[in-house]
């Protein structure tokens, strides 16, 4: 494969997920990932700072989609309905590549304390993006933070369900996200 062949970033992610799944995260090196992807180590480092970053490669895009969906919600939408709009928009990122690697990513993250910690940091970033978008809509910061945390919980719950169902579509991911948010909404009312 040529040095400047297209799709290097996607090939790196797929190679890493395969290697992490087959031989474990800790036993996989950057050199092995680059070789499997058909690129040089320097190409790897043009795209990622380290191998941990591979598994959260889409975080910035996901955060942006959540925020866009919240911003696009109708002005009269409730806070959680705006979050649901963000979750629906983010589900559009769950395409064929995500479908292909989601179960393996779940298994790899579950098996590594380091990756579970990185995944928790990802959640903080997603929550911050949603909170900022809600505050921009005029939502009080404490309410925005709570709603954003519920949104993150709903996203994770939906993603786990989606990853476990091999034939689930992008539309199903959106449905699962809204269903999970509705369940959390009901659980919050039970707290009072």
Instruction: Assign 45 to helix, strand or coil.
Output: helix
Length of the chain: 192
Burial of residue 96 (CB within 10 Å: 0-12, 13-18, 19+) is exposed
163, 106 Cβ separation under 8 angstroms:
yes
Q: Is the pLDDT of residue 3 over 60?
A: no
Q: Are residues 114 and 28 in the same domain?
A: no
Do 65 and 15 reside in the same domain of the chain? no
Domain CATH number, residue 178: 1.10.357.10
**120 in the same domain as 45:** no
Same domain, 179 and 96: yes
Does 71 share its domain with 20? no
- The predicted model gives 17-28 an average pLDDT of 89
Query: Is 175 in the same domain as 137?
Result: yes
DSSP 55: G
| Shared-domain flag, residues 66 and 120 | yes
pLDDT for the residue 96: 64
Give the CB-side neighbour count of residue 112, counting CA atoms within 13 A.
Answer: 23
Domain boundaries, position 138: 58-191
Judge whether 175 lies within some domain. Answer: yes
Q: What share of the chain has pLDDT > 90, as a percent?
A: 51
Please report the pLDDT score of residue 164 as a whole number.
84
**Domain for residue 2, yes or no?**
no
Element (H, E) at 25: none
Task: Please check whether residues 184 and 133 belong to one and the same domain.
Answer: yes
Mean pLDDT of 121-127: 88
Residues 6+ positions from 114 with CB-CB distance below 8 Å: 25, 52
């Amino acid at each position: 494969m040529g040095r400047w062949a297209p799709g290097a970033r996607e090939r790196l992610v797929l190679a890493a997920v395969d290697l992490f799944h087959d031989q474990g995260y800790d036993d996989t090196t950057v050199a092995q990932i680059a070789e499997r992807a058909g690129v040089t180590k320097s190409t790897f480092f043009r795209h990622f700072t380290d191998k941990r970053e591979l598994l959260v490669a889409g975080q910035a895009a996901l955060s942006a989609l959540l925020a866009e969906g919240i911003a696009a919600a109708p002005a009269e939408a409730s806070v959680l309905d705006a979050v649901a709009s963000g979750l629906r928009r983010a589900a559009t990122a769950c395409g064929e590549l995500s479908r292909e690697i989601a179960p393996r990513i779940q298994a790899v993250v579950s098996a590594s304390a380091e990756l579970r910690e990185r995944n928790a940091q990802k959640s903080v970033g997603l929550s911050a993006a949603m909170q900022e978008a809600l505050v921009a809509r005029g939502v009080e910061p404490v309410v925005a933070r709570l709603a954003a945390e519920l949104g993150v919980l709903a996203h994770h719950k939906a993603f786990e369900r989606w990853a476990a169902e091999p034939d689930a579509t992008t539309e199903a991911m959106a449905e699962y996200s809204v269903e999970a948010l509705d369940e959390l909404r009901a659980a919050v009312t039970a707290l009072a």
